Amino acid sequence: MVAGRAGGEVMVRSPGRFTEISQDECLELMATTTVGWLAFVDAEGQQLLPVNFVLHGQDVYFRTMSGSAISSLADGHDDVAFAVDHHDDIYQKGWDVMARGTTARVDDPDLVAQVAAGARPRPWAPGERDVLIVLRPSVISGRRVRRQ
Amino acid sequence: MVAGRAGGEVMVRSPGRFTEISQDECLELMATTTVGWLAFVDAEGQQLLPVNFVLHGQDVYFRTMSGSAISSLADGHDDVAFAVDHHDDIYQKGWDVMARGTTARVDDPDLVAQVAAGARPRPWAPGERDVLIVLRPSVISGRRVRRQ
């Protein structure tokens, strides 16, 4: 990192580099993990919440409890972002993938059963989750970053 | 996980548990990592972006390039969420911390120098970063979660 000061500003140049990830590889990377972040605005303002998820095709499924902040997404939300990442501090490289789209409640019994069958591992967080929500991405993007 | 079906719904109960984290410990945990997520809405809609950051007191500092999506936060944004987490798949436990507040550009030369001096490690991502932004949290919350 080269840092210099000029007129109260700091200029930083990093030798790292980005590599864009194809959509297929984004989906493969998403499938390697089970915890992601959900970002959306509700009546309380900007929300940013960790969530256990299951990927099914290109769609992201997550369960929540009635009355939770996330459960409002079951009523339909037209602009929700979801992201997962992995960063290795030892090798100083990582990746992140972001999906953005709309959400809806899932009621179709066959789909509920399919998602439940594929739901491994079980959520770490406690509580009963009786609402199944799907995020259908309109955009999926990702990148690898390494420091050198 | 106990999953049953009734009327097209799936009910999931997890044996895991949450523990709320004090604000002091939230800050200690935030200081253990250097990559977080920023969530905010701009003219393009919901943004959810990974960012290298430095914690200074209770404030979160990050640099960006002029013209980037994050650089719009330099003009002042009244509702930005920032989050970091760590989840250990082996021991099946983890924590997440979220801070929410307002952002502004940092121009004070002394503060710019202080943040630059404390900025380790350097960003992994490439490019020149000439805009320093601060997120001043009005709310900081966190929790530990373990599966059993």
Looking at the domain assignment, is residue B142 inside a domain?
yes
**C-alpha to C-alpha distance for B113 and A30, rounded to whole angstroms:** 38
The whole-number average pLDDT for the span B109-135 is 73
Q: Which of A86, A73, A85, A84 is nearest to A136 (CA)?
A: A73
**C-alpha to C-alpha distance for A59 and A134, rounded to whole angstroms:** 7
Looking at the domain assignment, is residue A4 inside a domain?
no
Kindly give, in sequence order, each residue whose CB lies less than 8 Å from that of residue B137, ignoring residues fewer than 6 positions away. Answer: B58, B59, B60, B82, B99, B100, B101
Q: Is residue A105 pLDDT above 80, yes or no?
A: yes
Looking at the domain assignment, is residue A2 inside a domain?
no
- Indicate yes or no: CB of A9 within 8 angstroms of CB of B132: yes
Which chain B residue has the Cα nearest residue A98? B48
Nearest to A35 among B87, B100, B112 (CB): B87
Q: Is residue B5 pLDDT above 70, yes or no?
A: no
Identify which has the larger pLDDT, A143 or B148.
A143
Looking at the domain assignment, is residue A101 inside a domain?
yes
- A114-132 pLDDT, tens digit per residue, is 777 766 545 556 566 688 9
Looking at the domain assignment, is residue A10 inside a domain?
no
CA distances from A53 to A22, A31, B58 (A): 21, 9, 31
Looking at the domain assignment, is residue A5 inside a domain?
no
Q: What is the CATH number of the domain that holds A44?
A: 2.30.110.10
Looking at the domain assignment, is residue A12 inside a domain?
no
pLDDT value of position B10: 43
- A38-48 pLDDT, tens digit per residue, is 999 999 999 99
Q: How many domains does chain A have?
A: 1
**Which A residues, 94 through 113, put their C-beta within 8 Å of a C-beta on chain B?**
94, 96, 98, 100, 107-109, 112-113
Closest CA of chain B from A123, distance in Å: 6
* Tokens (6 digits) for A35: 């915890």
**Structural domain of A93:** 18-146
Structure confidence at residue A4 as a pLDDT band (50, 70, 90)? very low
The whole-number average pLDDT for the span B29-52 is 93
- Asked which of A30-34, A88-92, B88-92, B121-125 is least confident by mean pLDDT, the reply is B121-125
Q: What percent of chain A is predicted at pLDDT more than 70?
A: 79
Looking at the domain assignment, is residue A49 inside a domain?
yes
